[in-house]
Amino acid sequence: MNIDPVALQTLSAVVRERTFERAAARLHITPSAVSQRIKALEQSVGQVVVGRTKPITPTPAGDVLLRLAGHWDLLVHDALAELVPQTGDTAYPLVPIVVNADSLSSWILPALARAQEELGVTLEVIREDEEHASELVRSGAALAAVTADPRVVAGCRLTRLGALRYVAVCTPAFKERWLPRGARAADLDRAPMVRFDRKDTMQHRVARRWVRRDIDPPATFIGSSREFAEAIRLGMGWGMVPWEWAATELAAGTLVRVASSSAAAHDVPLHWLAWKLPSRTLDVLTRCITQEAESALLR
């Protein structure tokens, strides 16, 4: 069985762009040529690699090949970086990594900037909830991720980074109206909540710890970390906010804890999950991110 690297590149483009036509535009070839390359790849491996739907999605066999394509691109870049002197017109490879929204908006960007400067790469930062990030590495959609999942993925290395502390907060007026007796089950069922998206269950899990049962309040969904915190400041609901964002306003009294001081805090352990490849790119990313985490996260 021979697998053509050009066909792997085409498969990556098709899955990323979601249609043959957009993949063709990205690769500067015709849609017919894209179709021919995908058919040749399928004949080579003896399996269908993408479903012919819109948007196009990979099959299980396609997922395996996408992982191979990502590894291949990274290793070729690292090899060429050693063999060929860098020039001003050198094409930057695109390195996909997964980062949760709160890490992206609070501590990790300086580490990514240092890694990019040292490596001469561009990064595709895929924003995903920390509870689900590992799946994107496992599938091959990303080479590494910040994840809250402590389980090791086969073929990957897992490094503990530290914990990001959150605190349950709301405005004083909100608490007086909706939670005058504190974190009581009946009141929490009525009190509006702010959630990042439908995958965000942190508020529910913390509330369950308080009242020993599930709650089902009305929720406002705001898929941006800064705007999420601003919505809470404006009294749209209560929610879990990174401690470093809430500390000043808690001290000033413009925000208050939903529950008692100890119960309101929630620590999310974070890990760095990366493929075990002989790759300088992954080594540098790992070094920069773990160094930044040492000073930014709870140990």
Tell me, yes or no, whether 76 lies in a domain: yes
**169 shares a domain with 84:** no
Q: Cβ(235)–Cβ(174) under 8 Å?
A: yes
Q: What are phi and psi of 249, to 5 degrees?
A: -75, -30
Say if 173 falls within a structural domain: yes
Asked if residue 180 is part of any domain, the answer here is yes
SS3 195: strand
How far is it, in rounded angstroms, from Cα 216 to Cα 203? 11
Q: What range does the domain containing 34 cover?
A: 1-90
pLDDT confidence of residue 78: 78
Angle, alpha carbons 113-162-247 (nearest 5°): 85
Whether 258 and 171 share a structural domain:
yes
Q: Which amino acid type is present at position 182?
A: G
Position 170 in a domain: yes
Task: Tell me the pLDDT band of 84, cut-offs 50, 70 and 90.
Answer: low
The CA distance from 115 to 291, in Å, is 11
Residue-wise pLDDT for 100-154, tens only, equals 999 999 999 999 999 999 988 889 899 998 988 998 888 777 889 999 999 988 8
Dist. CA 38–CA 48, nearest whole Å: 9
pTM of the model: 0.77
Residue 96 lies in a domain: no
pLDDT at 89 over 80: no
Query: Which H or E run includes 272?
Result: strand 265-275
Question: In this structure, is residue 296 part of a structural domain?
Answer: no
> Which one of 58, 73, 90 terminates a domain?
90
Look at the chain and report how many structural domains it folds into.
Answer: 2
Domain boundary among 47, 73, 90: 90
- Stretch 177-189: mean pLDDT: 95
Q: What is the pLDDT of residues 4-44, one digit of tens each?
A: 889 988 998 898 888 999 999 989 999 999 999 999 999 98
The DSSP output letter for 13 is H
**CATH value at residue 179:** 3.40.190.10
d(Cα 196, Cα 74) in Å, to the nearest integer?
A: 32
Q: Are 44 and 7 in contact (CB under 8 A)?
A: yes
Give the integer Cα–Cα distance in Å for 192 and 16: 37
